[in-house]
Amino acid sequence: MSEHLQPASGEFCADKAHRLPVRVYYEDTDFSGVVYHARYLHFFERGRTESLRACGIHHSELAAMDPPLAFAVRRMGVEFIRAARVDDILVVETRFRPQAGARLMMDQALTRDGETIATASVQAVCIDGAGRAKRPPEWMQKQWQDFVLTTISE
């Protein structure tokens, strides 16, 4: 395999949204042929992980720190608008909202051909190795600062 071949990582766009294309596989669907509701959470997780990676924040590096750090979802609200089906190409959009203490706030949307089919409002928290919430280190906040929305209308 070629050394330059990398998995899809998406990209940040001028509107400060990180966009990650994903394809719906048969394994993502239920008996009716539509995407099983829990799989939408997987798509959103990939979008969050890749948006942080695009900022230079890698989960493996956080876990290797002394003391180790991680992110955990504290709260998530999901709205299912339209069904996705096998072979659909979806785009996971992730936008960072202003941080509040240990919490990292994100809005996410799953789109198909420009139409929103699901949304998520996510509150993640930075945690230490014992699972206690802690404010993200300054270097981490600087990594994502350029991508944080400054107004609700952005």
Could you tell me which residues come within 8 angstroms of residue 115 by beta carbon, excluding any fewer than 6 positions away? 82
CA distance 78 to 61: 29
In what order do the strands lie in the sheet containing 69-80?
Answer: 11-12, 18-23, 89-96, 103-112, 115-128, 69-80
CA distance 135 to 148: 16
Q: Is 30 a catalytic residue?
A: yes
Annotated catalytic residue, options 15, 30, 128, 146: 30
Catalytic residue numbers read 30
